Structure 1
Amino acid sequence: MLKQKQVQMLIEEAITKAENAKQPIAISVCDTHGELLGFVRMDNVSVQAGLLAQNKAYTSARDRQPSGNLGAWAHETGKTLSYWTDPKITGFKGGLPIEINGEVVGGIGVSGMSEEDDEKFAKTLLKLIR
């Protein structure tokens, strides 16, 4: 189970790293069901980036894999993400499952940079929790 102190630590560290890089972001952390546990949309970040961060975390937690994997799957199969019949599912990179002792306990989503940079940023944050 993901504890609130862990959620706060992830968000605080994300804000610190983003401020140091002068790169505003949106960050979202959710439980295994995709229910929101923590969220920050820094100043000068679009509302859309905030929504994407939440959907990336949701997707990764619910599907137990990086959100970008679904985008790759859709591209490879020619199917759309509507296949999942869930409007919150996204295929954009930047969402990762949070694992503790080999068990998925939630998801993290980062948005505001390129998809690749969002995913790298999320991976850096997850090193703090594993």
Structure 2
Amino acid sequence: MIGSISLTQAQSMITDSIHWAQENNQHIAVAVVDSVGELIAFSRMDETSPQTCLLAQNKAYTAARDRQKTSQLAAWAKETSKTINFWTDPRITGMAGGVPVKNKAGKVVGAMGISGMAEFDDEALAQNIIAQF
């Protein structure tokens, strides 16, 4: 990945995530966004709870917009006693599972959000999938 995440790359990231979830008897929703949080690709597995769809997309959106993992944003908010309303954006979330995608130069070119498991399991899977790309 050099300048941005292509549709092909986004779909591969989603396919790999879902394949892992199937092998591990999990049900997830996965979103991949560009560098400003606009959706490139999204998928949810059968039997995935409805709220995971919105959460996966918002996790990816937040990680792209804030240029950090959503869990880091949550930790900062807790340390500074800020609420998520501080960002005045209803899509911003502090739930773990959103991870930015960076190119070799360290520039954020997009993000991935996963929802459906425990928050930090969502985050770990996103980090593992991103590391493959």
SS of aligned partner of 2:120: helix
Task: Specify which of 68, 92, 98 is matched with residue 89 of structure 1.
Answer: 92
RMSD across aligned positions (CA): 0.8
Task: With the length of structure 2 as denominator, give the TM-score of the two structures.
Answer: 0.94
1:72 aligns with 2:75: yes
SS of aligned partner of 2:77: helix
- Residue ranges of structure 2 left out of the alignment (5+ in a row): none
Partner deviation per Cα, 1:58-111 (whole Å, 9 max, x = no partner) = 000011100111111121111111000100000000000001112211010011
Deviation at 1:119, TM superposition (A): 0.7
SS of aligned partner of 1:127: helix
Task: Specify which of 113, 116, 126 is matched with residue 130 of structure 2.
Answer: 126
- Residue ranges of structure 1 left out of the alignment (5+ in a row): none
C-alpha distance in structure 1 between counterparts of 2:15 and 2:122, whole Å: 16
C-alpha distance in structure 2 between counterparts of 1:21 and 1:33, whole Å: 31
Deviation at 1:45, TM superposition (A): 1.1
Task: Specify which of 60, 64, 72 is matched with residue 61 of structure 1.
Answer: 64
1:105 aligns with 2:109: yes
SS of aligned partner of 1:98: strand
Partner deviation per Cα, 1:18-40 (whole Å, 9 max, x = no partner) = 11111010100000110000111
C-alpha distance in structure 1 between counterparts of 2:89 and 2:24, whole Å: 34
C-alpha distance in structure 2 between counterparts of 1:5 and 1:41, whole Å: 17
Task: With the length of structure 1 as denominator, give the TM-score of the two structures.
Answer: 0.96
SS of aligned partner of 2:92: coil
C-alpha distance in structure 2 between counterparts of 1:71 and 1:117, whole Å: 16
